[in-house]
A and B are shown apart, each in its own frame.
Chain A
Amino acid sequence: MKVLVFGEVVDGTIQNITYELVACAKKLGEYLTLVTSDADVSSIDGRVIKVNAGETNPWHYKIVEKVIERENPDLILFGNTSSSVDIASQLSAKLPVATSVYEVSAENGEVIVKSLSYGGKIIVELKLTTPAIAVVNVGSYNAEDGKGTASVEEIEIDELGVRDGIEFLGYIKPEEEDVDISKAEVVVSVGRGIGDETNIEMAEELAELLGGVVAGSRPIIDQGWLPKTRQVGRSGKTVTGKLYLALGISGATEHVEGVKAKNVIAVNTDKTAPIFRVSRLGIVADVNELLPTLVDKIREIKEG
């Protein structure tokens, strides 16, 4: 099976999802990656076609169409992310598509996928006739497996004969204090069990190491240890990312209502703390003792 990966570029940087998709494609057969914006593509494993068509833009679906004509892939993989979905959904007017996919396999020339639908409550297994499109969830495949050395072919946009219909006007970057915890993939959240304010810094360091943000339960916000924008729960925000790491949070109903992350790991001294009821992994420990050790160990791994 021949697989075309749509490489995602945001603000001049190849996004991690691209490597994850390459990792997926590798398991299915022959693969190549198309990148439609200017970025350093050298670490993408395998063949790469690069078309410099400006910043990420929904009209780039026309470029993908041209490359499909040229390469005849059986399957085109997109990340389930804002700018990739714009393109995938327009192409799916012509090609069979499955969205929210977390597992792709090939059988007798047909594509079989598993989609996590209905808010994660039901798995739908689908068979797509080729050529087909799969929109794959972030975190379904290991990005490291998709990294390697690229062999890059550049194509001038004029050669493809497609035109722009939509104008990119510019990025609006978030101010540091406006981190939206509801959109973060990894949230390190602290509760009363954290003890005193100085431990917040350590939680922040942990969050940074994990590529996430720090949030808190209400008592922490009330103390003024974290700004109101970081509050999780009924009177705060709902977190929906990949991991919610609850440190010293007991898990009152009001709090748990805001925890909709795909994976919850909780650390609490109380074995019967209700937070454990919504967790996949529970660690019975004192956060204040665990945090320094954990941060040291992760720092070592990161630097190591």
Chain B
Amino acid sequence: MLETYFERINEIPNSDKFIQCIQCGTCGGSCPYGMGTLFTPRRMILAVRAGIVDEVLQSGAQWLCTSCFTCSLRCPSQIPITDAVIPALRELSLLEGNPPEELAAALMNITRYGNSFRESPRKRDRWIKEVDFEVPLISKKKKAEYLFITECFGAYHRRCKEITKAFAKLMDLLGTDYAILGNEERCIGDLVRLCGEFGLFEDLAEKNIRVFEKYEFSKIVTHDAHAYNALLREYPRFGFKKEVVHHTQFLYNNLEKLKEMFGKLDYTVTYHDSCYVGRRNGIYEEPRAVIKAIPGVKFVEMKRIKENALCCGGGGGGVWLDSFIKDHIKERPAESRVKEAASVGADVLVTACTLDVPMFEDALKVTGLEGQLEVKDISEIILEAIENS
């Protein structure tokens, strides 16, 4: 078992740092689930060194991780905990055949249908029939400057689809030369990778790249933070070399044009740094600049911001581990986060990752903050500002 573990670890960049762990405990101290687990990353590494992986797997600690990247960023030895230490443990769990059921179902669905929702791959483009403007398909257009990747949540999830529509509308208003893959798109797979299903991730990456190669485009734009991360950091290993733009960057780059369209919004807004926009990929200022540019908006900061922002709990397969995680912790991170947003007087919590919105809206119900605080993606508040002019 240890052999399989190290074989996998060794394939991941910088995992040689593994041996440099000084057992300082920064990781466990930084972990949103640190107090709910028997094995913090520090103790996981210790257990692997001691050859007692079985005990870690039995405790389920490998699933108590939302891949928020705080431990990895703070680790003084720069050990790739989020990308290597934990996913490789998860892979062992998958090989044993008994991951948490909800997660197993999601992975099976992605294998079979290319999305976690058990929806027909032929319905991936259904959302374009729900908008009042034309969304171009690259199969028809053949060539575009931007290829817009909606990813599974953006294509199928009832709430997240609204974000997709809002961002597409903005591109439409800006006259952007863009197109979508429609039903040729399939799961980009960042969560699959972080869940330790490396084989499936490789298969997805290879298939997606083969589709990308059919068409002419110069950049990819996406509102899905995990798709952004995988396309930027993982896909190059499989030969994909194009520029990848997150929608916060895209909006920032078009800010002058947007400003001309803005009306006034009477909101007190706070911004949540999503893990794979902020901490993992360093995009902090662009979304703030865009929000602050909306006339009438009062911008307030929460206490935990930028690289110290608290995770929504949805990443790393967290969206498929809800009941498992709830058994181990008292309060979900999303619940703590919406309370924090409310405590600084915000009436809108703006985010920039599709996973955040359903996670936070759910937390509003549990905490009773529904009606007091609203959750919007950055593209939704921008569109609202434009429509208010």
Q: In the complex, are there CB atoms of A and B closer than 8 Å?
A: yes
Q: Which of A's residues lie within 8 Å of B, judged by CB? A: 192, 218-219, 222-223, 228, 231, 234-236, 250, 252-254, 257, 274
- Chain A residues near B157: list those with CB within 8 A: 253
B160 to chain A, nearest CB (A): 9
Number of interface residues of B (CB under 8 A): 16
The stretch that binds A, out of B125-133, B210-218, B292-300, B358-366, is B358-366
Q: Which A residues are in CB contact (< 8 Å) with B117?
A: 253
Are B158 and A235 in touch, CB under 8 angstroms?
Answer: no
In whole angstroms, how far apart are the Cα atoms of A236 and B322 in the complex? 10
B: residues with CB less than 8 A from A are 102, 117-118, 157-159, 320, 322-323, 326, 358, 361-362, 365-366, 370
Picked from B118, B322, B366, the residue with its CB within 8 Å of the CB of A235 is B322
Report Cα–Cα, A223/B118, bound state, in Å: 29
Q: Is the CB of B366 within 8 A of A219?
A: yes
- Residues from chain B with Cβ under 8 Å of A253 in the complex: 117, 157-159, 358
Chain B residues within an 8 Å CB radius of A250 = 365
Q: Which residues of A contact B365 (CB under 8 A)?
A: 192, 219, 250
For A236, the chain B residues whose CB sits under 8 A away are 323
Q: 30 A–B contact pairs at CB < 8 A?
A: A192-B365, A192-B370, A218-B322, A218-B362, A219-B365, A219-B366, A223-B366, A228-B323, A231-B323, A234-B102, A234-B320, A234-B322, A235-B102, A235-B322, A235-B323, A236-B323, A252-B158, A252-B159, A252-B358, A252-B361, A252-B362, A253-B117, A253-B157, A253-B158, A253-B159, A254-B322, A254-B358, A254-B362, A257-B118, A274-B158
Residue of B at shortest CB range from A251?
Answer: B158
**Cβ of B362 to closest chain A Cβ, rounded Å:** 7
Q: Given contacts A252-B362, A253-B158, A274-B158, are A222 and B326 in contact (CB under 8 A)? A: yes
How far is B323's CA from A192's CA once the two chains are assembled, in angstroms? 18
What residues of chain A lie closer than 8 Å to B362, measured between beta carbons? 218, 252, 254
Q: Shortest distance in angstroms between B148's beta carbon and chain A's nearest beta carbon?
A: 22
In the complex, the chain B residue whose C-beta lies closest to that of A256 is B158
Cα–Cα distance between A176 and B117 once the two chains are bound (Å): 33
**Shortest beta-carbon contacts, A-B, top 7:** A235-B323, A235-B322, A253-B158, A219-B366, A219-B365, A192-B365, A235-B102
Task: Check if B102 sits within 8 Å of A222, measured CB to CB.
Answer: no
Return the chain B residue nearest A223 by Cβ. B366
**Cross-chain contact A222 with B158 (CB below 8 angstroms):** no
13 additional A-B pairs beyond A218-B362, A231-B323, beta carbons within 8 Å, are A192-B365, A218-B322, A219-B365, A222-B326, A234-B102, A236-B323, A252-B158, A252-B159, A252-B358, A253-B157, A254-B362, A257-B118, A274-B158
Q: Contacts A228-B323, A235-B322 known; A222 to B159 CB distance under 8 Å?
A: no
B residues near A218, Cβ cutoff 8 Å: 322, 362
Q: Which residue of B lies closest to A235 (CB)?
A: B323
Report the Cα distance A252→B359, complex, angstroms.
Answer: 11
Asked if A222 contacts B358 (CB within 8 A), the reply is no
Q: Which residues of B contact A228 (CB under 8 A)?
A: 323
Residues of B near A257 (CB, < 8 A) are 118
In the complex, chain A residues whose CB is within 8 Å of the CB of B158: 252-253, 274
Chain B residue with the shortest CB-CB distance to A193: B365
Closest residue of chain B to A250 (Cβ to Cβ) is: B365
List B contacts of A231 (CB < 8 A).
323
In the complex the two chains form, what is the Cα distance from A226 to B117 in whole Å? 27
- Distance, CA A35 to CA B370, complexed state (A): 57
